[in-house]
Structure 1
Amino acid sequence: MSSTDTYKKQHKPRSAFNTRTEYLEHELQVMAPRRWRPNLPFRDYRFEFEDWVPAMAATIGKIVMVAAVVGAFAAPLGLSPEFVVENSRFELLIAALLFVVLVSGFLNPTANLAGTHGPLIPLIPLIVASGGHPMALGVLIGVFGFILGITKGGSLLAKLTSNGVCGGLLLYLGFIGITSQISKLFAWAESFDMAYIAFVIIISTILMYAWLEHMKLRWLAIPLGSVLAGVIAYALGAPFEFSTEPGIPNMNPAYWWGEDTGWQLGLPSFEHFVAVAPFAVLAVAMWSPDFLGHRVFQELSYPPKTERVLMNIDDTMVSTAARQTVGSLLGGGNLSSSWGTYIVPAAIARRPIAAGAVLTGLLCVIAAIWGYPMDLAIWQPVLSVALVVGVFLPLLEAGMQMTREGKTTQSAAIVIFSSALVNPVFGWSLTVLLDNLGLIGCKERGKTLGHTGRWIIPGLTFGILCAVMTGIGMFPGIPPLLSAFQH
């Protein structure tokens, strides 16, 4: 295909194909996104009704995850639930207007949307207890992420990760995610003594997902599952009410970083940056396996000859780092990463990044200003089912698909085992080192990587991450090294 051929010339109407799947696959094959240049609707891509699926899933996931991050900061700082809602609405507008639409929708459609860093949420209380400041943490994550992106460190680490390691990582994340959401759903139902509602919702979701798989309509799982869960819960008597009223959050950064307003912390000092540095290193280290998993899921879901529309790991790191820095400076509390609740449903629906990104931005703006959709998105049955069928079940399926051949199961088993011991970052970095050395997995693969790819880069990565995790106390049974120095 000539480089002078454009998407507009090669596009064919739906009527030219026997099935809609063939049409969507042809769209992916003829697109040629322009990197860091304007990409325009109808010239470079089109909108299809399938784009609403990742947009809806991403909006639901975004509301929930941002609220979780801000809430994790707010609790130890003694800030009110009203602050959490207000800052979450502010973050939705920042993400939608400045980055989702502008970057992924128009300037670089191979950069995935910048979402929320979920695995870092459990560490936030420790960050605050260590004297951390949300702005200091966000800015350092942005700086470190930008360095990794422009040096192409993210794509290099992705190349050094075998199918077995990546498949095991997807299996672990998928299984942990599903069991977590089931536990949360039962805890929610038990809180008002109607645990059977959770059971009915889960059974109904399983049957719905199986039927969608049979009908090859799996891309409908998120909207259909969310509606099904909400209707069943409400019909069986689960309590629900709208409480977030329409309005625009405070858009003044001086308000958010005031001494007596917003976060009530003022601007960070040098000591705040020192306190959060280890956590910022760990946060950016978590990006590589996260971003890799998202790109691999695209590769498994897309047809052949679609390399040009696949997510670019390094560009995604650069845009995520920029979004993190700007959001933190303006007053937001979100911690950014690749947007999983967007890219996974988009890949299932066989849609590229750009069109759904524009719709995601639109829905985020509507949710932030209208207010009421935020209540619905964070209602436990809607939230849990959307995450299970839209993210975690597909991750499980992709992981199984990647570990079916050769000796990939050895690497997959080790990464699951070591992730369960500490966390996925430890599991990924350790297994990449063992796998590339040829101790597990395919022995021949390591011989093709050279000394740099075989042990120098994996060894340095593993050593640095272990030092950081030891310092902040992430190894079970080992006290934080930093606290020993502080005392």
Structure 2
Amino acid sequence: MSQDSASYKELHKPSHSFKTRDDYLNHELQILSVKRWRPNLPFKDYRIEWEDFIPGMAATIGKIVMVAAVVGAFAAPLGLSPEFVIENVRFELLIAAVLFVVLISGFLNPSANLAGTHGPLLPLVPLMVASGGHPMALGLLIGVLGFLLGITKGGSLLARLTSNGVCGGLLLYLGFIGITGQVKKLFEWAEGFNMGYLAFVVLIATIVMFAWLEHIKKRWLAIPLGAVMAAVIALAMGAPFEFTTSPGMPNLNPAYWWGENTGWQLGLPDWSHFVAVLPFAVLAVAMWSPDFLGQQVFQKLSYPKNSENAYMNIDDTMIAASSRQAIGSALGGGNIASSWGTYIIPASIARRPIPGGAIITGLLCVIAAIWGYPMDLAIWPPVLCVALIVGVFLPLMEAGMQMTREGKTTQSAALVVISSVLVNPVFGWSFTMLLDNLGIVGCKERALDLGKAGRWLIPGITFIVLCTVMALIGMFPGVPAIMSSFRV
């Protein structure tokens, strides 16, 4: 029987039949053959290994932190309490775990990455609320627009039109900005109780640990080991910490969350709310393509050859994320969905496919939501910052460097970084993609092979639409928002 026609169950071999654990994990990736939008069962179509706990832990920590940040950004200008934020985060963890992480990425379509949280849109949330936005209206619009882009395969098309130079530059920028942001947050936390040197000690220890793990080829241990190390050092040096979130269940009634005097205290949205959030919804969905592409590229760089069936499908991930967004918002959640970067990057490092870790992530999210106490530890600055640095941002920088080592990629990469610093990563990606595909920068031979649609039509339309949206909501430095002139 040929390998192409054999099933995963027939091709699977026990780990003891391989010389090393790495050989076994590589073989698991190479024989994976999941079914799209049909049932996939553990041990029949894939296996759950102890390495799956690595991305599961990282994803759970990242989920708690990011959802708390998004819901908190909505809640602050609305005058809602910290208790409301914790309650909604617990609700969102259950929605993500039960309805989408386990159901879609674990069983129905393991080619779709887990639906996580849209971090890059976080700074725009206060502006969205000030513009008269409504969390449900935003969620439903993102769901509709993202679903349309997914089913028309627009996401994968934009990914194919993005060169290695453009993508590599984007990864370098996101990785560097992420690292500097986490370092700043850690020092701000430590200086808050006059122990700034604690942050320095934790970060130096993190660098040494990461280098040692790289030396012994065990980088997939960076997140759990780094989180534990940071917590132990911080506690040993006298950093303040206490558990405050007690066990319990959040309110599961959508009518409570969208009541006039309960939950969000906003009621249901009307047409004006949808108009107010439309530019933000367009921008959120436009951000997905470069974000998803970077995550898929990281898989390609981390997995062995002939592992194509284990790669995340960009269009399927868009469909999953948009469905999760629409349903989660309708139920009462405040999350803004995207592909789950704090899951897929550690999973790539650990050389694990999507489904096994998805099951673990779902279980850990349910435990954290009901138990409560793990939420306090996950958002404690030394644990959070170190986990994000070693599990997400350092690997992103490394992947960006690998993508810009060969060919005429450095020009495009540099322009992405400069343009992203000037405005934001969406502008940097769309602007440089247009210049790169026209052959003005980068590899001119590649540009000639794209055809008219790939060279200027699709990149040009994408750039114009995104610039229009960003001008409407005031994202160009020094340029007033066009929408402000229409407000009464």
Give the TM-score of the pair, scaled to structure 1.
1.00
The structural deviation recorded for 1:486 is: 2.6
Query: Following superposition of structure 1 onto structure 2, how do residues 370-449 of structure 1 map, counting pairs within 5 Å?
Result: 370-449=371-450
Q: Residue deviations 1:153-175, cap 9 Å, x none?
A: 00000000000000000000000
Q: Residue deviations 1:402-431, cap 9 Å, x none?
A: 000111011000000000000000000000
Contact 2:3 2:11 in 1 (8 A): no
Query: Following superposition of structure 1 onto structure 2, how do residues 6-45 of structure 1 map, counting pairs within 5 Å?
Result: 6-45=7-46
CA distance in 2, matches of 1:331, 1:146: 20
| Aligned amino acid, residue 419 of structure 1 | S
* Aligned residue number for residue 126 of structure 1: 127
Deviates most, 3-12 or 312-321: 3-12
* Aligned residue number for residue 460 of structure 2: 459
* Aligned residue number for residue 217 of structure 2: 216
Q: Residue deviations 1:330-362, cap 9 Å, x none?
A: 000000000000000000000000000000000
The structural deviation recorded for 1:14 is: 1.1
| Aligned amino acid, residue 232 of structure 1 | I
CA distance in 2, matches of 1:373, 1:96: 16
Aligned CA RMSD, in angstroms, stands at 0.6
Contact 2:295 2:344 in 1 (8 A): yes
State the SS of the aligned residue for 2:439: coil
* Aligned residue number for residue 68 of structure 2: 67
* Aligned residue number for residue 241 of structure 1: 242
* Aligned residue number for residue 285 of structure 1: 286
CA distance in 2, matches of 1:225, 1:3: 40
State the SS of the aligned residue for 1:67: helix
* Aligned residue number for residue 356 of structure 1: 357
* Aligned residue number for residue 176 of structure 2: 175
Q: Residue deviations 1:180-200, cap 9 Å, x none?
A: 000000000000001010000
| Aligned amino acid, residue 454 of structure 1 | R
Q: Residue deviations 1:450-470, cap 9 Å, x none?
A: 000000000000000000000
| Aligned amino acid, residue 56 of structure 1 | M
CA distance in 2, matches of 1:77, 1:318: 30
CA distance in 2, matches of 1:367, 1:62: 10
* Aligned residue number for residue 323 of structure 1: 324
* Aligned residue number for residue 258 of structure 2: 257
Q: Residue deviations 1:106-137, cap 9 Å, x none?
A: 00001000000001110000000000000000
Deviates most, 248-257 or 3-12: 3-12
CA distance in 2, matches of 1:249, 1:485: 40
Deviates most, 6-15 or 361-370: 6-15
The structural deviation recorded for 1:4 is: 3.1
Contact 2:257 2:265 in 1 (8 A): yes
- Alignment partner of 1:305 is 2:306: yes
State the SS of the aligned residue for 1:265: coil
The structural deviation recorded for 1:3 is: 4.3
| Aligned amino acid, residue 41 of structure 1 | P
CA distance in 1, matches of 2:41, 2:118: 29
* Aligned residue number for residue 266 of structure 1: 267
CA distance in 2, matches of 1:406, 1:75: 48
| Aligned amino acid, residue 188 of structure 1 | W
The structural deviation recorded for 1:394 is: 0.3
Q: Residue deviations 1:254-275, cap 9 Å, x none?
A: 0000000000000000000000
CA distance in 1, matches of 2:189, 2:181: 12
Q: Residue deviations 1:67-105, cap 9 Å, x none?
A: 000000000000000000000000000000000000000
State the SS of the aligned residue for 2:200: helix
* Aligned residue number for residue 487 of structure 2: 486
State the SS of the aligned residue for 1:154: helix
Percent identical among aligned pairs is 75
Query: Following superposition of structure 1 onto structure 2, how do residues 219-230 of structure 1 map, counting pairs within 5 Å?
Result: 219-230=220-231
CA distance in 2, matches of 1:213, 1:101: 31
CA distance in 2, matches of 1:260, 1:402: 52
Contact 2:317 2:339 in 1 (8 A): yes
**5+ unaligned residues in a row in structure 2: which ranges?**
none
CA distance in 1, matches of 2:5, 2:246: 51
CA distance in 1, matches of 2:168, 2:275: 36
CA distance in 2, matches of 1:418, 1:388: 24
| Aligned amino acid, residue 96 of structure 1 | A
CA distance in 2, matches of 1:91, 1:2: 41
* Aligned residue number for residue 137 of structure 1: 138
Count of aligned pairs between the two proteins = 487
| Aligned amino acid, residue 145 of structure 1 | G
CA distance in 1, matches of 2:239, 2:70: 26
* Aligned residue number for residue 196 of structure 1: 197
The structural deviation recorded for 1:485 is: 2.5
| Aligned amino acid, residue 33 of structure 2 | A
Give the TM-score of the pair, scaled to structure 2.
0.99
CA distance in 1, matches of 2:211, 2:29: 27
Q: Residue deviations 1:39-74, cap 9 Å, x none?
A: 001001111111000000000000000000000000
State the SS of the aligned residue for 1:350: coil
| Aligned amino acid, residue 66 of structure 2 | M
Q: Residue deviations 1:389-410, cap 9 Å, x none?
A: 0000000000000000111011
CA distance in 2, matches of 1:198, 1:423: 28
| Aligned amino acid, residue 471 of structure 2 | T
- Alignment partner of 1:148 is 2:144: no
Query: Following superposition of structure 1 onto structure 2, how do residues 48-59 of structure 1 map, counting pairs within 5 Å?
Result: 48-59=49-60
CA distance in 2, matches of 1:422, 1:219: 34
CA distance in 2, matches of 1:252, 1:196: 46
The structural deviation recorded for 1:2 is: 4.9
| Aligned amino acid, residue 228 of structure 1 | M
| Aligned amino acid, residue 383 of structure 1 | L
**5+ unaligned residues in a row in structure 1: which ranges?**
none
CA distance in 2, matches of 1:131, 1:15: 60
The structural deviation recorded for 1:13 is: 1.0
* Aligned residue number for residue 468 of structure 1: 469
